């Protein structure tokens, strides 16, 4: 397959699994670097470039959730978290710590490669052009995948950007959880609907300092969510 210029950082303490995943990713055309400890990651990222990280949750040398949060605040890199923890609460904690996707072990290596490709497709897709309302405090920059409120940038994950930009496109429209899942995950995976609740919770928390006293993403009982700045 044609070589791409994308580099994937695999952080996985099971060295045999890391080696197999590296082989599959390289066969798909990606550059791959493997690390095996949590405390190796931030120093490596400080001097190397990565376009996506596959991060194991349970690592020697540190806590995977804390590491995910540290990466999210320091580097604009999408993160796919992998772990043997399969409980819904664990998945939600992973997403709340800043992961863009969550894969439970044991996983198919082909599926992981497919998820990596899907993540890169979502990063490259440009939302439908739109005019922002002149009175709106929100400014969306599709080329940079950033959203500003009153000129201040929001610290969003890739998934949060896709979710908020879609809500901004159609203020007042009620979207079901299932519809929003299809917006942020275009590979038709089976994902719990509560995943959307977790992302909405994170968005509300990040919007709160910029919109004090306002709840601009509203829950509609039995239906879903709508964006309403008024």
Among 31-35, 113-117, 178-182, 201-205, the least confident range: 178-182
Contact assessment for residue 53 and residue 11, using Cβ atoms and an 8 Å cutoff: yes
pLDDT at res. 213: 75
**Range 121-128 average pLDDT:** 58
**Range 116-123 average pLDDT:** 81
| pTM given for the model | 0.59
Task: Please list the residues that pair with 63 across neighbouring strands.
Answer: 58
**Residue ranges covered by each domain of the chain:** 7-124, 138-227
Exposed e or buried b for every residue in 122-147, given b needs 16+ CB within 10 A? bbeeeeeeeeeeeeeebebeeeebbb
pLDDT > 70: what percent of the chain?
82
**pLDDT tens string 165-185:** 888 887 888 888 887 877 776
**pLDDT tens string 46-105:** 899 899 999 998 899 998 888 988 888 888 788 998 887 656 666 666 667 778 888 888
Mean of all residue pLDDT scores within the chain? 81
pLDDT at res. 136: 67
pLDDT at res. 31: 95
Q: Which CATH number fits domain 138-227: 1.10.10.10, 3.20.20.30, 2.40.110.10, 2.60.120.10?
A: 1.10.10.10
pLDDT at res. 55: 94
pLDDT at res. 15: 94
Contact assessment for residue 105 and residue 97, using Cβ atoms and an 8 Å cutoff: no
Residue 230 scores a pLDDT above 70 = no
**pLDDT tens string 203-216:** 999 988 887 777 88
Chain-centre distance of CA 184, in angstroms? 9
pLDDT at res. 115: 87
- At 3, the pLDDT band (50, 70, 90 cuts) reads low
Question: For domain 7-124, which architecture applies?
Answer: 3-Layer(aba) Sandwich (3.40)
Q: Is the dihedral of CA 28, 30, 31, 37 positive or negative?
A: negative
């Amino acid at each position: 397959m044609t070589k791409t210029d994308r580099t994937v950082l695999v952080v996985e303490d099971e060295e045999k699994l890391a080696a197999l995943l590296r082989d599959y990713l390289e066969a798909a055309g990606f550059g791959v670097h493997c690390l095996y400890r949590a405390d190796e990651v931030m120093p490596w990222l400080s001097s190397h470039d990565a376009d996506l990280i596959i991060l194991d949750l349970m690592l020697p040398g540190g806590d995977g959730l804390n590491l995910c949060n540290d990466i999210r605040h320091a580097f604009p890199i999408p993160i796919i978290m992998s772990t043997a923890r399969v409980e819904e609460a664990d998945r939600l904690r992973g997403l709340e710590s800043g992961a863009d996707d969550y894969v439970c072990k044991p996983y198919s290596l082909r599926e992981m490669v497919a998820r990596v490709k899907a993540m890169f497709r979502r990063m490259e897709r440009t939302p439908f052009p739109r005019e922002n309302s002149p009175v709106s405090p929100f400014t969306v920059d599709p080329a940079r995948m950033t959203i500003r409120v009153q000129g201040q940038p929001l610290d969003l994950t890739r998934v949060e950007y896709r979710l908020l930009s879609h809500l901004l496109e159609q203020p007042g429209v009620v979207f079901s959880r299932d519809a929003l899942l299809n917006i942020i995950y275009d590979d038709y995976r089976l994902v719990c609907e509560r995943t959307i609740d977790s992302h909405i919770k994170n968005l509300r928390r990040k919007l709160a300092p910029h919109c004090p006293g306002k709840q601009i993403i509203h829950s509609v009982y039995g239906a879903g969510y709508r964006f309403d700045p008024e």
